[in-house]
């Protein structure tokens, strides 16, 4: 029942291949719908941040949400992450309708995120910061961890191993023991990505991962995002301002303007969409 609904819904809104799963040009496997937003409306008092938006995120894809400033992108991401609960509409995740949730419940569902303004623990080392991403996976109690006893020790070792693999993956071995506060901006962003990855998420939300970066840092970050998607099969939803980056990275793009969805499709389709062009370049009034 749910499955069918999702299917019919998604076909009506975005140009999608006929079958559920398909393989992209570069050989990645895109699966069925993982998350679906249906007619979402989000209000803050009298301000309508998001107005009647529907779209879906498929298993294994890189999905971008773009739009001019104040379009409601971050609000949308917060709806996906469960931080905001929309007044109207439904959020479906892996075939279940999701009610209001606490952040830790969202994390347990397999959703992790990074923030637009870096939210790391400045005084802690890179390693410790990334370890915090594993908290959800630790089962031993407070006392056992404090005493470093039996299962707690084994668990810590396993978690450390997982974290070291991520450190290796993101090539930050040289700053493993450095306090985060001393790192340059681009590296902090990478550490934040590492922490999100440490939770082994199925869905990774990136809020402006390249904001404030120089060209070289952007290239690095783009490569890591693609690698994460490719190597771990993580589904990624990202918000980004840099159009070039978005168009190169994403499989499909949602375009928002003033809280409304004005475009949805592959980068090429979106690029040639007149509403999108108007929103970005302005409309000539004659």
Partner 1 sequence: MPDQQAPTGELHSVPALLARNVARYGNRPAYREKEFGIWQSWSWAEAADEIRALALGLMALGLKPGDHMAIIGRNRPAHYWGMIAAQMCGAVPVPLYQDAVAEEMAYVVEHCGARFVLCGDQEQVDKVLEVEETVKGIEQILYTDRRGMRKYDHSRMNALADVQAEGRAAATRLGPELDRRIAALDYDSTCVMLYTSGTTGKPKGVVLSNRNIIETSKNTAGFDRLTQAEEIVAYLPMAWVGDFIFSVGQALWSGFTVNCPEGAHTMMTDMREIGPTYFFAPPRVFEGQLTTVMIRMEDAGRIKRWLFRHFMEVARRVGPALLDGRPAGLGDRLSYALGRLFVYGPLKNTLGLSRVRVGYTAGEAIGPEIFDFYRSLGINLKQLYGQTEASVFITQQPDGEVRSDTVGVPSPGVELKIAENGEVFYRSPGTFVAYFKNPESTASTKDAEGWVATGDAGFFEDATGHLRIIDRAKDVGKMADGSMFAPKYVENKLKFYPNILEAVVIGNGRDFCTAMINIDLNAVGNWAERNNIAYASYQELAGHPQVYATIREHVEAVNRSVAEDPMLSGCQVHRFLVLHKELDPDDGEMTRTRKVRRAVINEKFADLVAALYDGSSSVYTETAVTYEDGRKGRITATLKIEDAQVFGEAQGRKVAAE
Q: Which tokens sit at 129?
A: 């910061």
Residues 21-40 that bind partner 1 (CB under 8 A): 26-27
Out of 168, 248, 268, 278, which residue is the one contacting partner 1 (CB under 8 A)? Answer: 168
Work out whether the CA dihedral 7, 255, 238, 81 comes out positive or negative. Answer: negative
Binding status of residue 20 toward partner 1 by CB under 8 A: no
Residue from 52, 90, 153, 230 touching partner 1 (CB under 8 A): that is 230
Question: Which of these segments, 83-91, 160-168, 203-211, 272-280, binds partner 1 (CB under 8 A)?
Answer: 160-168
For residue 177, the minimal CB distance to partner 1 (Å) is: 8
Tokens 């306090």, residue located? 179
Kindly state whether residue 171 participates in binding partner 1, applying the rule CB under 8 A. yes
**CB of 33: closest distance to partner 1 in angstroms?**
25
Name which position in 88, 122, 227, 268 contacts partner 1 (CB under 8 A).
227
Is 165 near partner 1 (CB under 8 A)? yes
Choice from 98, 160, 260, 271 touching partner 1 (CB under 8 A): 160
Site for partner 1 (CB under 8 A): which residue of 231, 248, 268, 278?
231
Residues that bind partner 1 (CB under 8 A): 26-27, 127, 160-161, 164-165, 167-169, 171, 173-174, 176-177, 227, 230-231
């Amino acid at each position: 029942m749910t499955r069918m609904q999702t299917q019919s819904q998604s076909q009506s809104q975005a140009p999608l291949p006929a079958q559920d799963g398909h393989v992209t040009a570069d050989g990645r496997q895109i699966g069925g719908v993982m998350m679906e937003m249906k007619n979402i409306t989000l209000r803050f008092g009298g301000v309508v941040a998001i107005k009647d938006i529907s779209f879906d995120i498929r298993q294994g894809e890189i999905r971008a949400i773009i739009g001019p400033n104040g379009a409601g992108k971050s609000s949308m991401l917060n709806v996906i992450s469960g931080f905001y609960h929309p007044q109207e509409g439904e959020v479906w995740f892996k075939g279940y309708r999701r009610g209001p949730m606490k952040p830790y419940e969202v994390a347990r569902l397999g959703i992790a995120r990074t923030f637009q303004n870096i939210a790391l623990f400045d005084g802690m080392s890179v390693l410790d910061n990334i370890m915090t991403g594993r908290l959800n996976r630790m089962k031993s109690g407070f006392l056992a961890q404090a005493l470093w006893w039996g299962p707690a020790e084994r668990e810590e070792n396993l978690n450390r191993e997982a974290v070291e693999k991520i450190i290796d993956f993101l090539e930050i071995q040289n700053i493993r023991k450095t306090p985060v506060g001393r790192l340059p901006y681009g590296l902090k962003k990478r550490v934040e990505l590492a922490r999100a990855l440490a939770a082994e998420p199925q869905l990774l939300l990136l809020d402006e991962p390249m904001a404030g970066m120089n060209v070289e840092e952007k290239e690095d970050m783009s490569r890591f995002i693609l690698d994460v998607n490719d190597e771990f099969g993580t589904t990624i939803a990202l918000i980004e301002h840099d159009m070039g980056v978005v168009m190169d990275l994403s499989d499909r793009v949602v375009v928002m303007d003033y809280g409304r969805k004005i475009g949805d499709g592959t980068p090429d389709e979106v690029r040639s969409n007149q509403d999108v062009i108007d929103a970005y370049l302005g409309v000539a009034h004659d």
